[in-house]
Chains A and B, each alone.
Chain A
Amino acid sequence: MAERVGIEVSVAIGDAARLANVDVIAAYPITPQTHIVEHLAELVANGELDAAYIPVESEHSAMSACLGSAAAGARTFTATAGQGLELMHEVLYVASSMRFPVVMTVANRALSSPLSVWGDHSDVMAVRDTGWIQIFTENGQEVVDHVFCAFRIAEDNKVLLPVMIHLDGFHLSHVIEPITFPEQSKVDKFLPPNSYPLPLHPDRPVTMGDFAPPIIYPEAKWAQEVNLRASKETILKCWQEFADIFGHRYSPVESYHGEKAKTLLLTMGSFSETAMTAIDKMRGKGKDVGLVRLRLWRPFPFEEFRRAVAGAETLIVVDRALSFGGPGGPVCSEVKAALYGEAKKPKVVSFVAGIGGRDISPSDFETIVNKGIKISEKGSPNEFEIFGVRE
Chain B
Amino acid sequence: MAKRKPKSEGEMTWKDLEIGAIVTEPGNASWYKTGDWRSQRPTYDFKKCIKCALCQIFCPEGCILQNDDGYFEADMYYCKGCGICARECPTGVVTMVEEEE
Main secondary structure of the interface of A (DSSP, over half): loop
- Which residues of B are at the interface with A, using a C-beta cutoff of 8 A? 9-10, 12-24, 26
- The residue of chain B having its C-beta at the shortest distance from the C-beta of A99 within the complex is B20
In the complex, what residues of B have CB within 8 A of residue A223's CB? 14-15, 17, 21
Contact A206 B23 (CB under 8 A): yes
A99: which B residues are within 8 A, CB to CB?
19-20
A215 touches B20 (CB 8 A): no
- A213 to B37 CA separation, bound complex (whole angstroms): 13
**Size class of the A contact interface (CB-based, 8 Å):** 20 to 34
* B-chain residues with CB within 8 Å of residue A215 when the two chains form the complex: 9-10
Closest chain A residue to B10, Cβ basis: A215
B26 surroundings in chain A (CB, below 8 A): 205-206
Q: Are the CB atoms of A216 and B9 closer together than 8 Å?
A: yes
The A186-226 residues at the B interface (CB cut-off 8 A) are 197-198, 204-208, 210, 212-213, 215-216, 219-220, 222-223, 226
The answer to the question of A118 belonging to the interface, with a C-beta cut-off of 8 Å to chain B, is: no
Give the CA-CA distance A206 to B9 in the complex, in Å.
18
Of B10, B17, B20, B24, the residue contacting A98 (CB under 8 A) is B20
**Closest B residue by C-beta to A226:** B14
Q: Judge whether B9 and A222 touch: CB under 8 Å.
A: no
Indicate if A335 sits at the interface (CB-CB under 8 A). no
A98 and B22 within 8 A (CB): yes
Asked if B19 and A220 make an inter-chain contact with CB atoms under 8 angstroms apart, the answer reads no
Partner of B17 from A197, A204, A219 at Cβ < 8 Å? A219
A160 interface residue, CB < 8 Å from B?
Answer: yes
A206 near B17: Cβ-Cβ < 8 Å: no
User: From residue 76 to 121 of chain A, which have CB atoms closer than 8 A to chain B?
Assistant: 97-100
Q: How far is the CA of A205 from the CA of B24 in the complex (A)?
A: 7
Q: A100 near B20 (CB under 8 angstroms)?
A: yes
Across the interface, do A208 and B22 meet the contact criterion of CB distance under 8 Å? yes
Q: Which residues of B contact A198 (CB under 8 A)?
A: 18-19, 22, 24
Is the CB–CB distance between B20 and A208 below 8 Å? yes
Closest chain B residue, CB of each to CB of A216:
B9
Binding site for B on A (CB under 8 A): 97-100, 160, 197-198, 204-208, 210, 212-213, 215-216, 219-220, 222-223, 226
Which residues of the other chain, B, contact A216 by a CB distance below 8 angstroms? Answer: 9, 12, 17, 21
Residue of B nearest to A100 (CB): B20
Q: How far is the CA of A239 from the CA of B13 in the complex (A)?
A: 32
A206: chain B residues within 8 A (beta carbon): 22-24, 26
B27, closest chain A residue (CB):
A205
The minimal Cβ–Cβ distance linking A187 to chain B, given in whole angstroms, is 26
Residue pair B21, A160 in contact (C-beta under 8 Å) = no
Candidates A197, A204, A210, A226; contact of B21 at CB < 8 Å: A210
Q: Which are the 10 A-B pairs with shortest beta-carbon distances?
A: A99-B20, A207-B23, A98-B20, A223-B14, A219-B14, A220-B21, A215-B9, A205-B26, A222-B14, A216-B9
Q: CA separation between A207 and B32, bound complex, in Å? A: 15
A210 and B12 CA atoms in complex are apart in Å by 16
Query: Do B13 and A219 touch across chains, with their CB atoms under 8 A apart?
Result: yes
Q: Taking the nearest CB of chain A, how far is it from the CB of B69, in angstroms?
A: 36
Assuming A215-B9, A219-B12, is B19 touching A210 (CB within 8 A)? no
CB-nearest residue of chain B to A221: B14
B23 contacts across to A, CB distance below 8 A: 206-208, 210
Sample (23) of A-B pairs whose CB atoms are under 8 Å apart: A97-B20, A97-B21, A98-B20, A98-B21, A98-B22, A99-B19, A160-B19, A198-B18, A204-B24, A206-B22, A208-B20, A210-B21, A210-B22, A210-B23, A216-B9, A216-B12, A219-B13, A219-B14, A219-B17, A222-B14, A223-B15, A223-B21, A226-B14
